[in-house]
Structure 1
Amino acid sequence: MSGHNISASNSRRNFLRSMGRLAIALPVLPGCLSTGEPEEIDLPEMVSTTFEELPGSLRRTPQVKAWLEVLEDGRVRIFSGKVELGQGIRNAIRQVAADELFTELDQIEVVLAETGLTPNEGYTAGSGSIQNSAMAVRHAAAAAREQLLDLAAEKLQVTREELRLQSAKIKVADSDRQLSFADILEGRQLEGEVPLDLKMKPKSAYQFVGHPIPRSDLRDIVQGKTKYIHDIDASDLVHARVLRPHNYQSELLRFDETAFKQESEGVLKTVRNGNFLGVITEREYQAERAVQLLAKHSEWSKPAIFPRQNELPEHIKSIASEPDVVHGKEAVLDRNAAEIKLAASFFKPYTMHAALGTACGLAQYDGTTLHVWSHSQGIYPMREGLALMLDMPVEKIHVISAPGSGAYGHTVADDAAADAAVLAMAYPGKMVRVRWSRTDENRWEPYGSAMITELEAGLDSDGKISFWRTDVWTDSHSTRPNKDAGTLLTARYLDTPKPMQGRGYLGGGHRNGDPYYQIPGMQVAAHYFDGPLRVSSLRSLGSFANIFAIESFMDDLAERSGQDALEFRLRHLEDQRAIDVIRQVREMVGTVSPQAGEGIGFAFCRYKNHAAYCAMAARVKVDPATEAIELQKIWAAIDVGEVINPDSLKSQTEGGILQAIGWTLQEEVRFSESEITSDDWSTYRVPRLQDAPEIGVTIIDRPEEAAMGGGEAAVPPVAAAICNAIYRAGGKRIYRLPVRS
């Protein structure tokens, strides 16, 4: 078999044997993974394609063996550097791989996010997992299939045209002769890089992609059997807690360790490292009790570092930089030529990820390597931050992704892992488990930035927009862990503190600040500020605030010019896919006629102006006496191009809508001059079951188009759709969120 790229394969198995203290497996459920026996397909029907570049993560890691390996039993193990957050990426990858390899779904195993084992795919963020990871797997699987066919033809001494693929076997047509993938490789693995010239399975022949394949883990989740990071157990497990101060600038003035030891029980070690104060105990309850005693026997400074809550918008403007024109620097804004001019200012407060389960991290130092278990959304970047924080070589840190509470964005999962890492280095040999309290999580998580979006526009004599100006006041929208140790909260409080060196990703603040409409003179300016509260990535970044402002403003402009709200939008669109989602929502609403005190509002967004399309309508009822708002129904139409799994896409759309409903109607981080006061579910109210409206989702499937992620696309239009409906129901325009503040 000379001339083919194959190699001995024991590295991954040996790595798992030597490094893995714990394996987290999602079982295969009979009857949940297959839609039937895959059809045999004549190989000449494969589609020969030349790609300009490899998709997504494959550009950084083009080797076939980085993405898959054939197991001894003939099944295929797929490797992805993405994290399962409840978005169903494991299932989507399984569908894509099974189709391209002509296997059953239960012949595909998917391993996610482990350093040294899976590709480095950075963060699971920005609705990028489908186009970056799933499409990388599709190409790698196609390349593997082609190599396997060549090897099988040589081994069976037949031409490729005589071969057929079915259920992870390659057969000779009209014959009983066949080889499994394992038989072909004989214990070795495929090598080489994925080429740009590739034969792909025709989409018309897909057995799994495009079908609502149930997730294999759903039954266990519903029955409470799923093992999350909080459930990890081991014979050498110990428990730990870290005492958090009052605010970001608090300092530990005094700690009476003698008095603490006299009252505590089961304490194995107390760790003080600068302003970091933690405790390790034998049992979990002892850790809970010990951290209370730490607070009792310590004294912290409590400086006043926050502005007055009601003065936050003014404070933001006072600390912002000079405007940076980020779009349309050469645009001509002819204000004098406009027949109608309009201006408005919109405000969004700080909002939380508000994960229902608090953060957890585990770490164990074996004297050579630090092993870390985390529900971080970026295990490789976090590893870099940990290495810098601990002054360790990055190759001496091994990070394993473990499922945690669902939250979209940069949460304190990384910080919990950093806490565990510091404590594990101080107490080697044991697996140290750190769990955060609800109070600590609410006070210390990196929030979604407060934002101000101010708009100015004019209409010409024909009722079309003649100029547009957006001004956005925004903090950073990503300070995720990376090569800057200070992105990990823990690093900032050690004896040798490592403050954050940069501002993170500022561009997320003006995301979607330039409307996706045809406007001749358009300009967007960003006013960046370094705000009083810790911030980072939260689902959709600045798009939520900007689309809330833009789509509310579009309704105002339509009304001022006497035009129908949807027709006004359609007059300013040329992209047929954008037009189609808006028309689809109008069709979904149909002949629904609002009653007295009710209103229907609309909104549209193309996420990032180059990703998925979503149009939305909301129906609300406003009590004229109390101004109480009842959200009755949401309609949404979404277009992500090729749909991998319509059920997952629908679930993601519904979940995004529900999260954004909370930001629109209820959620706001509250604070005094010295500390965050939104520290529980009473002071930071998220939607309850009774707050959820009926939601209808229509998917526009375009299998001929590139696949895009849908996890964030439905978030931005929600606030504008609801607030436009409120205006139509009661005549009150909403400029400040949340509505029920």
Structure 2
Amino acid sequence: MSDQTADIDKGRRRFLTSGALVVSFSLFPAIKAMAQQVIADEGAAVHVAKATEALAGSLKTNPFLDAWIKIDPAGKVTVYTGKVELGTGVRTALLQIAAEELAMAPSLITFLTADTGASPDEGLTAGSHTMADSGSALLNAAAQVRGLLVDAAAERFGVSSSALSVHDAIIKAPDGRTMTYGEAVGAVDLHRMATPASPLKDPATFVTIGTSLPRLDIPAKVTGGPSYVQDMFMPDMLHARVVLPPVYEARLMQTNTSDILEMPGVVKVIRNGSMLAVVAKNEWQAVQAQRALAAGCQWSAGRALPDPAAVHRDLQQIATEHIEIANTHNAAGTALKTLSATYTKRYMLHGSIGPSCSVAQFKDGTMTVWTHSQGVYPLRDALAEMLSLQKDKVRCIHVEGSGCYGHNGADDAAAHAALIAHEMAGQPVRVQWTREQEHTWDHYTPAMVTEVKASLDATGSIVDWNYALWSSSHNERIVNAGRLMPAQLLEKPFVPAPSAPMVQPEGGGDRNAIPLYALPNMHVMNNFSPTMPLHTSAMRSLGAHMNVFSIESFMDELSAAAGADPVAFRLKHMQDPRARDVIRLAAEKFGWPRAPRKTNHGVGFAFGKYKNLMAYVAIAVEISVVRETGQVILERAEVAVDSGQIVNPDGIRNQIEGGVIQSASWTLYEELKFDTARIRSFDWSSYPILRFSAVPRSLNVHLINRPGAPFLGAAEASMGPTAGALGNALFDATGKRLRDMPLGGDNLRRQSDA
């Protein structure tokens, strides 16, 4: 690319060249001394001032209207979000929300995503929070801005605001007089705090919300155009590759720097403690130099890894924090039949298709980093700490990454780029990790153990429920410089912030560990380990994948013990009317109850409400099994979803379909390979994922729209229910209850041979 900013985001370039300036505020001088409310998100605690806690979504932390919407005198409208596009289509959906309440065609709006130099600070894009937080904020901010502009025009025209109409940023009076938003904004100060009440449009009048507006990010991706940070090119850009330790805690003892400096195109070898990198004029030169440099390094022994055969046993021993998250006691029938089960899940890696990448430039005392991090503001703060710079001297600009969900290597690659660019002042530096580095230095999703015990009375009702889980941290997001892996390798290393469990109702390893079913006597315990034998952090849905799998598998076991149909059994124990609606819809679309089972075929059903806060999902599946190979094919899936007010139907379907496929891969095949010496899953041949031959033959998503209801995040909502449905279908197909993930592949083949 000849101009990386223009190619990556033309809207941002137009904005910057216009000379406009926006300042987003998250501190409120007038209310510093007031009480603060703390909201736990998937990252760090978010502090909400008491004066703003009644505002919608992220307006709580960014209450000024001009942090979200700016209108210049020419009528140009620029809308900002602090959330990022991760391939989920949220950029398109958020634009639709703003366009709807501003009464404008989406094409007339310049829409900019997370940039610490421009956008509001919305923390992380994670946990299916974007629509609930940023969507709600934009809905209300846009409505309030429109209301203020209309009121200004009404005063100028001498008529009632209700007499005016608005279309495409033009306000029109009954007598034909018009005023543009640009003209009206001259009489309005948008640097004001939002109010709890907004002049929201009647959902019945929506023209943009509820339509499948084509996604903004798709055209370049399907035509091979520049789409990702990996595609960025800047004039005079240098290329860097890093050498990482072979194992945890290995220290660099010796290098062959002098030999590398003689290689063609090599500009510099940078070493700071055990942080080692080579900088070259072009990428292939950097690749060749990195290989030679890695081959010439000598490292200390480092730390041994755990025995993979003992991981689950060890996990139950090292979990030193015991957190009771549910304890209810209500009248119930007499227990006549008691069941118990233990489920396990192994470590998995993100498996990002594109290895992590970042571009950085240190110029005139300011560090600018282009990154596919999910949290540009937390990253900005950590980079400033690592580089001993003031925060206003570090700018992080989000650019999509080819492979960016969850806490993969994006932040670490950005830290590498910043460290190297700091040594190469003036010139932009591109850092690209290798596939082996992406796999072996990933922040893995933790292994887990769950145990459940429950009893039934004479009517087949559940009378008690006891659930316990064991896991280490599912959240090592960037909260200080020490959480950046390169910062730990420096001569003067930074120390990571200690691991801490995430609080309910969001939860970490215990996300969705509290069933939504009506259970009269329930006890749920989270056994948390603050120490981690492997590097772990956030993977889509965190503990919800395992917890919903365990709960929904056991619900089927209980329904069988009660002699009840699995769907009828769930409805019997479900009081939430919206949950009942999705359960009934999925069953209806599937044609439940099932027809007589065919050989090596099975059907399964499962339900979940993500975090018990976000979207409702019920799914019915049919699978076929090849016992000799362990292959499981998802023949058909019918999914029902309630995510509140639907903004972009096609976008929700995209996310549910993608979640079903990814969860099927996790549940059936994915498993990190390692031994006591090192990580062995260093490429695709050593880390199996779902193949095209096993993707669903038929996958249909059925949406329940709730006009005017709050937006409920759906991106991660299908992960757990898919796992539960697959586990139940495998039992139906094989007659064996498989409780140890991954369920397919060699594990299933061994079960079939037994």
TM-score, normalised with respect to structure 2:
0.89
- Which of 701, 705, 721 is the equivalent residue of 2:705? 701
Which whole-Å deviations, capped at 9, do the CAs of 1:432-465 have from their partners, x for residues lacking one?
Answer: 1100000000001111111111111111122111
Q: Which residue of 2 aligns with 1:419?
A: 416
Q: Which residue of 1 aligns with 2:193?
A: 193
Q: What is the rounded CA distance, in whole Å, between the counterparts of 2:67 and 2:303 in structure 1?
A: 51
Q: Aligned pair 1:665/2:668, yes or no?
A: yes
Q: Which residue of 2 aligns with 1:536?
A: 537
Equivalences for residues 332-351 of structure 1 within 5 A: 337-351=334-348
**8 Å contact from structure 1 (residues 69, 189) kept in 2:** no
Give the deviation of 1:581 after TM superposition.
Answer: 0.7
Q: Which residue of 2 aligns with 1:56?
A: 57
Q: Aligned pair 1:675/2:672, yes or no?
A: no
Give the deviation of 1:216 after TM superposition.
Answer: 2.9
Shift in CA distance, 628/23, structure 1 to aligned 2, threshold 3 Å: closer
Equivalences for residues 469-488 of structure 1 within 5 A: 469-482=466-479, 484-488=480-484
Q: Which residue of 1 aligns with 2:256?
A: 256
Give the deviation of 1:211 after TM superposition.
Answer: 1.3
Q: Aligned pair 1:737/2:741, yes or no?
A: yes
Q: Which residue of 1 aligns with 2:9?
A: 25
Give the deviation of 1:260 after TM superposition.
Answer: 3.1
Q: Which residue of 2 aligns with 1:128?
A: 129
Between the two proteins, the alignment pairs up a number of residues equal to: 696
Q: What is the rounded CA distance, in whole Å, between the counterparts of 2:726 and 2:537 in structure 1?
A: 26
SS at match of 1:170: strand
Q: Which residue of 2 aligns with 1:405?
A: 402
Which whole-Å deviations, capped at 9, do the CAs of 1:543-564 have from their partners, x for residues lacking one?
Answer: 0001111100110011111111
Give the deviation of 1:302 after TM superposition.
Answer: 3.2
Q: What is the rounded CA distance, in whole Å, between the counterparts of 2:626 and 2:677 in structure 1?
A: 38
Q: Aligned pair 1:720/2:724, yes or no?
A: yes
**8 Å contact from structure 2 (residues 446, 472) kept in 1:** yes
Q: Aligned pair 1:440/2:440, yes or no?
A: no
Q: Which residue of 1 aligns with 2:354?
A: 357
**8 Å contact from structure 2 (residues 230, 402) kept in 1:** no
Equivalences for residues 182-331 of structure 1 within 5 A: 182-186=182-186, 190-262=190-262, 264-321=263-320, 323-328=322-327, 331=329
Give the deviation of 1:501 after TM superposition.
Answer: 2.2
Give the deviation of 1:626 after TM superposition.
Answer: 5.6
Q: Aligned pair 1:564/2:560, yes or no?
A: no
Q: What is the rounded CA distance, in whole Å, between the counterparts of 2:5 and 2:497 in structure 1?
A: 34
Q: CA RMSD in A?
A: 2.1
Give the deviation of 1:382 after TM superposition.
Answer: 0.6
**8 Å contact from structure 2 (residues 251, 302) kept in 1:** no
Which residue identity is paired with 1:24?
Answer: I
Q: Which residue of 1 aligns with 2:645?
A: 642
Deviates more, 1:179-188 or 1:207-216: 179-188
**8 Å contact from structure 2 (residues 372, 404) kept in 1:** no
Q: Which residue of 1 aligns with 2:21?
A: none
Which residue identity is paired with 2:325?
Answer: V
Equivalences for residues 504-515 of structure 1 within 5 A: 504-506=500-502, 507-515=507-515
**8 Å contact from structure 1 (residues 239, 287) kept in 2:** yes
Q: Which residue of 2 aligns with 1:5?
A: none
Q: Aligned pair 1:581/2:577, yes or no?
A: no
Q: What is the rounded CA distance, in whole Å, between the counterparts of 1:652 and 1:629 in structure 2?
A: 22
Give the deviation of 1:333 after TM superposition.
Answer: 11
Q: What is the rounded CA distance, in whole Å, between the counterparts of 1:393 and 1:20 in structure 2?
A: 26
Equivalences for residues 373-392 of structure 1 within 5 A: 373-392=370-389
Q: Aligned pair 1:615/2:615, yes or no?
A: no
Q: What is the rounded CA distance, in whole Å, between the counterparts of 1:224 and 1:421 in structure 2?
A: 28
Q: What is the rounded CA distance, in whole Å, between the counterparts of 1:64 and 1:165 in structure 2?
A: 19
Q: What is the rounded CA distance, in whole Å, between the counterparts of 1:25 and 1:60 in structure 2?
A: 26
Equivalences for residues 481-500 of structure 1 within 5 A: 481-482=478-479, 484-500=480-496
**8 Å contact from structure 1 (residues 642, 705) kept in 2:** yes
SS at match of 1:647: helix
**8 Å contact from structure 2 (residues 555, 570) kept in 1:** yes
Deviates more, 1:82-91 or 1:628-637: 628-637
**8 Å contact from structure 1 (residues 492, 499) kept in 2:** yes
Q: Aligned pair 1:502/2:473, yes or no?
A: no
Q: Aligned pair 1:146/2:147, yes or no?
A: yes
Shift in CA distance, 541/159, structure 1 to aligned 2, threshold 3 Å: same
Which residue identity is paired with 2:687?
Answer: Y
Q: What is the rounded CA distance, in whole Å, between the counterparts of 2:231 and 2:657 in structure 1?
A: 28
Q: Aligned pair 1:691/2:656, yes or no?
A: no
Q: Which residue of 2 aligns with 1:631?
A: 634
Deviates more, 1:159-168 or 1:572-581: 159-168
Deviates more, 1:701-710 or 1:651-660: 701-710
Q: What is the rounded CA distance, in whole Å, between the counterparts of 2:66 and 2:161 in structure 1?
A: 23
Q: What is the rounded CA distance, in whole Å, between the counterparts of 1:513 and 1:26 in structure 2?
A: 44
Shift in CA distance, 261/249, structure 1 to aligned 2, threshold 3 Å: same
Q: What is the rounded CA distance, in whole Å, between the counterparts of 1:549 and 1:163 in structure 2?
A: 56
Give the deviation of 1:394 after TM superposition.
Answer: 1.1
Give the deviation of 1:296 after TM superposition.
Answer: 1.9
Q: What is the rounded CA distance, in whole Å, between the counterparts of 1:71 and 1:441 in structure 2?
A: 44
Which residue identity is paired with 1:159?
Answer: S
Which residue identity is paired with 1:257?
Answer: T
Deviates more, 1:687-696 or 1:126-135: 687-696
Q: What is the rounded CA distance, in whole Å, between the counterparts of 2:137 and 2:632 in structure 1?
A: 46
Q: What is the rounded CA distance, in whole Å, between the counterparts of 1:132 and 1:196 in structure 2?
A: 15
**8 Å contact from structure 2 (residues 249, 303) kept in 1:** no
Deviates more, 1:336-345 or 1:681-690: 336-345
Which residue identity is paired with 1:184?
Answer: A
Which whole-Å deviations, capped at 9, do the CAs of 1:552-587 have from their partners, x for residues lacking one?
Answer: 011001111111111111111111111111111110
**8 Å contact from structure 2 (residues 91, 216) kept in 1:** no
Q: Which residue of 1 aligns with 2:40?
A: none
Q: Which residue of 2 aligns with 1:112?
A: 113
Q: Which residue of 2 aligns with 1:468?
A: 465
SS at match of 2:659: helix
Give the deviation of 1:631 after TM superposition.
Answer: 2.2
Q: What is the rounded CA distance, in whole Å, between the counterparts of 1:187 and 1:402 in structure 2?
A: 36
Give the deviation of 1:408 after TM superposition.
Answer: 2.2
Q: What is the rounded CA distance, in whole Å, between the counterparts of 2:254 and 2:707 in structure 1?
A: 64
SS at match of 1:179: strand
Which whole-Å deviations, capped at 9, do the CAs of 1:701-737 have from their partners, x for residues lacking one?
Answer: 1114211111011111111101101111110111101
Q: What is the rounded CA distance, in whole Å, between the counterparts of 1:333 and 1:537 in structure 2?
A: 39
Which whole-Å deviations, capped at 9, do the CAs of 1:103-122 have from their partners, x for residues lacking one?
Answer: 11211221000003100000
Q: Which runs of 5+ in 1 are unaligned?
A: 1-18, 29-50
Deviates more, 1:383-392 or 1:646-655: 383-392
Deviates more, 1:580-589 or 1:52-61: 52-61
Q: What is the rounded CA distance, in whole Å, between the counterparts of 2:240 and 2:622 in structure 1?
A: 48
**8 Å contact from structure 1 (residues 260, 297) kept in 2:** no
SS at match of 1:633: strand
SS at match of 2:451: strand
Q: What is the rounded CA distance, in whole Å, between the counterparts of 1:396 and 1:623 in structure 2?
A: 58
**8 Å contact from structure 2 (residues 261, 269) kept in 1:** no
Give the deviation of 1:535 after TM superposition.
Answer: 0.7
Shift in CA distance, 554/222, structure 1 to aligned 2, threshold 3 Å: same
Give the deviation of 1:54 after TM superposition.
Answer: 1.1
TM-score, normalised with respect to structure 1:
0.91
Q: What is the rounded CA distance, in whole Å, between the counterparts of 1:448 and 1:306 in structure 2?
A: 16
Q: What is the rounded CA distance, in whole Å, between the counterparts of 2:638 and 2:724 in structure 1?
A: 13
Give the deviation of 1:73 after TM superposition.
Answer: 4.4
Which residue identity is paired with 1:56?
Answer: G
Shift in CA distance, 187/286, structure 1 to aligned 2, threshold 3 Å: farther
SS at match of 1:440: helix
Q: Percent identity?
A: 37
